[in-house]
Amino acid sequence: MLSVQPTTGSWMRSGDFSSDLSKVIWIVQLVIFYHSAQQEHRGHGRTLASIQECCAVYLHPANETPMEEILRRRLLLFHVRDHTVGDQQAGWNEQEDEVTYGGTTLRMDHIPTLLKSEYQHCHQILYEELMLHAKGFRHMHAPASHDRFDVQTVHWRFKDHPGNADLLRSTDRFLLNVIERSEYLSRLFVMGQASTAGKWTWRQSAIATFEAHVQSFLARLCVLIHISSGQPIREPEFFSMMWRNTQRLRHITIRHDRVMIHTQYGKQQQQQGLYQDSVRFLAQPIGTLLLDYLVFITVAIVKTKFAGDAICFDLEDVNGDGEEIEADIKAMTEQRNHKTRTVNRAYANQALSSSTFANVYDGLIRKGLRASQLWHAF
């Protein structure tokens, strides 16, 4: 039944079904590993020898077992997928300035118009709604900011670089100071408690409105980052991006005087640890929007979201189809993490289905920079 699409009742596409078979195979491999480790724990042989014995019986292509059938069918589906063009065809007009896909026609000159509109809306929401029409502050321009590409400390981000101390001075209280200095904003955002003299609390209705503006800003900023930084990346890459270290290294850094986004993704990453690196850079105006949001707004969200009381606003921070060989085109092709064959036969020609830096060398970063510059110029 895994081969049937639940929403339509029709057969699944070969590429979608092969991924389900891969999950089944991975689960069986985990079961074999667990069984073998348990056998060694009980004193019955070694784990590796037990794994090899089980695989020889149940996972060997020459043995007629259910797993052999799954392995063989997955290889067949890989072959079918690589030689099949999807149902939804992407087609260009004669002038090659207009593409039609899935019943929607898009002209290439629509893209700059879309980006300009989204940027204007982002700019308005950030500096008027979120930063409360504040004046006289210093924008967080990437060329004026410092970062360390190699720091692995948990929770570290560009704001922790000593070189940014003067630039970031008082930014953690920026919005609080704006509210405190304005009688209108003070009445809008905070309210006093009659039972406790001198104690103030955030007005929840105002905070809810503020958070709604944050979500609207982020939705539009995602469009800008997704489209303008380079050829669009996959959903798992995009929504896994972090701007501060956890146990993993952050994806958003400042490099070559620009905001750099480094993501890693591979379909076999979980099973085999294989992944591909993708490096892209934001255009300077969009990078400034992102940095201003991270510096001025994220701290304010923490303060208002997790601090129930505001005593004099004194809150503490909480922690194969003809791959191009020309250099510029090759750089852009490598950035998208797909072969041209894959794009032509799978991603651009199928219906939408559903809604560590160790290997990153300077040459790859420069390729990503060049690819993003070409995309920006386009």
Token pair in block for residue 149: 């590409």
Q: What integer pLDDT is reported at residue 218 of this predicted model?
A: 93
Q: Are residues 308 and 195 in the same domain?
A: yes
User: Is 1 domain-assigned?
Assistant: no
DSSP helix/strand/coil, 266: coil
CA distance 60 to 356: 34
Q: Distance between CA 298 and CA 252 in Å, rounded?
A: 15
Q: Show Cβ contacts of residue 362 under 8 Å, excluding neighbours closer than 6 positions.
A: none
Tokens (6 digits) for 110: 């629509």
Strand partners, 92: 99
Q: Does one domain contain both 314 and 324?
A: no
The answer on 304 and 266 residing in a single domain is: no
- Same structural domain, 310 and 327: no
Q: List Cβ neighbours of 331 (8 Å cut-off, separation of 6 or more).
A: 367, 368, 370, 371, 374
pLDDT (tens place) for every residue of the chain, 378 residues total: 566 767 777 776 666 677 777 888 888 888 999 999 998 888 888 999 998 888 888 887 777 888 888 888 778 777 776 666 566 677 888 888 898 887 888 888 888 898 999 999 999 999 999 999 998 899 999 999 999 988 989 999 999 999 999 999 889 889 888 998 999 999 999 887 544 455 678 888 998 999 999 999 999 999 999 888 888 787 778 888 899 998 888 999 999 999 999 888 766 555 555 677 888 999 999 999 999 999 998 877 766 665 544 544 443 443 444 444 456 666 666 666 655 555 555 555 444 333 344 455 566 777 778 888 877 776
Residue owning tokens 């920079």 = 369
**Is residue 135 assigned to a domain?**
yes
The verdict on residue 59 lying in a domain is: yes
Domain count, the chain: 3
Give me the pLDDT at residue 330, please. Answer: 63
Asked if the structure places residue 7 within a domain, the reply is no
Place of tokens 């079961």: 31
314 and 340, same domain (yes or no):
no
Token readout for 151 is 């720091």
d(CA 155, CA 127): 27
Helix (H, G, I), strand (E, B) or coil at 3: coil
Pair 41, 116 in one domain = no
Q: What is the pLDDT of residue 273?
A: 59
- Are 311 and 224 found together in one domain? yes
Query: Is the residue at 217 inside a domain?
Result: yes
Tokens 């852009």 found at: 332
Residues 115 and 211 in one domain: yes
Which residue carries 């929607």 as its tokens?
Answer: 104
Helix axes 327-335, 362-377, angle to 10 degrees: 100
pLDDT attached to residue 1? 52
Choose one of 65, 82, 99: the last residue of a domain: 82
Please name the amino acid found at residue 332.
M
Q: Are 21 and 77 in contact (CB under 8 A)?
A: yes
Residues 333 and 312 both lie in one domain: no
* Nearest Cα to Cα of residue 321 among 283, 347, 296, 294: 347
Whether 279 contacts 251, CB under 8 Å: no
Among 301, 319, 337, the domain-final residue is 319
Among 82, 98, 124, the domain boundary falls at 82
Q: Which residue has tokens 């072959």? A: 79
Range(s) of the domain holding residue 141? 110-229+282-319
Q: Which amino acid is at 25?
A: I
Q: What is the pLDDT of residue 195?
A: 46
Tokens 């070559």 sit on residue: 256
Gap between the Cα atoms of 64 and 71, Å rounded: 11
Q: What is the structure's pLDDT at 127?
A: 96
Length of the chain: 378
Say if residue 219 is in the same domain as residue 359: no
361 and 276 together in one domain: yes
Do 149 and 76 share a structural domain? no
Q: Is residue 95 part of a domain?
A: no
- Residue 243 resides in a domain: no
Per-position DSSP letters for 18-70, written without gaps between them = HHHHHHHHHHHHHHHHHHHHHHHHTTSS-HHHHHHHHHHHHT-TTS-SHHHHH
Q: What is the CA radius of gyration of the chain?
A: 26
